Structure 1
Amino acid sequence: MRELEEAFERARSRRAAAFVAYMTGGFPDRETSLQVLTALAEEGADVIEVGVPFSDPIADGVTIQEASQIALSNGATPRNVLETVARLRRKVDVPVVLMSYLNVAFRYGLQRFAEDARSCGVSAVIFPDLPLEELGPIAEVMRGRGLGVVLLGSPVTRDERLARILDASDCFTYLVSVTGVTGERSEVPRSAIDLLRRAKSLRPESRVAVGFGVSSPEHGVLLSREGADGVVVGSKLVSIVRRGTLDELRDFVREFRNSLVRSHTP
């Protein structure tokens, strides 16, 4: 987990938000997936979030749902997604956060899931369907194996509950910009800015990363200037991989990262 904290600290030293790049594991297939994840790291992602494909991804929009189905149809499993992460971590020094629905972890075996994730180089896990009230036993298993647990807050989360989430989350809290599912959007919704400001008002020292709908360098710059410690780009990257080339992905990631850095350069 320390490597994840250090990634955010390096971004803070640049006075910019950390660039958290999401990609569905095993998409579109195992070998291409490794190439895609490597490109994200090489072009400047500070943190890579790898989603474990699932047949009923309730928090994901159409783009990531379709990516999950393609990955599953091409043989993706939790185990071989972790193996791809291990191969990635042998090549690059970029921390990986694993996003998985709880059902996947329980079917895998919760303790074995945590042990295998950590041994493959994962720093922390995100369970989008994990309620705060059920965190205790899950966190005990994850943290006992050296994994952080990242929690989520949304625009409808009340201040008292948001404060508890900020206190309980490891390394950073994932702020969901809208009430709904993932997907590209033309602009940063007002709800994202309001949620970010509430979180920073409640817990000024807590790290927060904003995701769901961050689709352009301009979105990232706006959120960084508003005080986000990280910005998460997902559906946009998945769309590029599905319709474009690896070079197009590299170009977008490089420009996004450079925009974050330039936005805070005197």
Structure 2
Amino acid sequence: MIEFRNLHKHFGNQHVLRGIDLTINKGEVVVILGASGSGKSTLLRCMNLLEKPDQGEIVLHGQALGKVGKKGQRSYSASDLRLLRQQTGMVFQQFNLFPHLTVEKNITVAQTHILRRSQAEAQQLAQRYLQQVGLADKAQALPAQLSGGQQQRVAIARALAMTPELMLFDEATSALDPELVGEVLNTIRGLRDEGMTMAIVTHELGFAWHVADRIVFLRDGKIYEQGTPDQILLTPEKPHTQRFLASHTTFKLPSR
């Protein structure tokens, strides 16, 4: 579905991504792991051009986006950005809901302004996806009236209402109290069961083992090791992956 070829990204003198080659197939769930500073969130943000790579290609459905200029750098037009972002939804660490709008309005506003859907159609989709995340009764509530877990589920419903082909999750549970993490992870797991294509940055290793088709381990801006959840989480071959897992003492093999 989407492919990233030789992605590089700098922030000043810091070389954050160092030649990432990654393909995500339709219906596949790829979980991205790595220590802090390994480039996980930057890679995810490059996937929908919230961060523009300094070098490399993004290939969507076989078509490379952008044009290469005289200096060899690739530039992206407004139509490239629109094409990619219409097909990707992103859920961040923070919920980023409009505090003065109801839950329903938070979900409909982008549909009507960006996708030009009618208000009636946008409301119908809002109800559909609120039902899917278990919050159909909260349509008229304000974000401040919801728990953190509920707000994050609204953020997921908002992204789904844009009908993306690829969902990106950037540490979607890291801002939540521990007792609220499970409801969000269960929502994401439900999306997996429905065949949604996803790329997920998470520190929840047990969840990664349950939900991933493939785990990609980053180190120093490169793909250091990748494989199935069993291969990476239970029998990693490389020493830095082994040390990373050893530092997560709470991870134990769950029952499938």
Please say whether Structure 1 and Structure 2 have the same fold, judged by a TM-score greater than 0.5. Answer: no
Which has the greater radius of gyration? 2
TM-score normalised by the chain length of structure 2? 0.38
Larger strand proportion of the pair? 2
Larger helix proportion of the pair? 1
TM-score normalised by the chain length of structure 1? 0.37
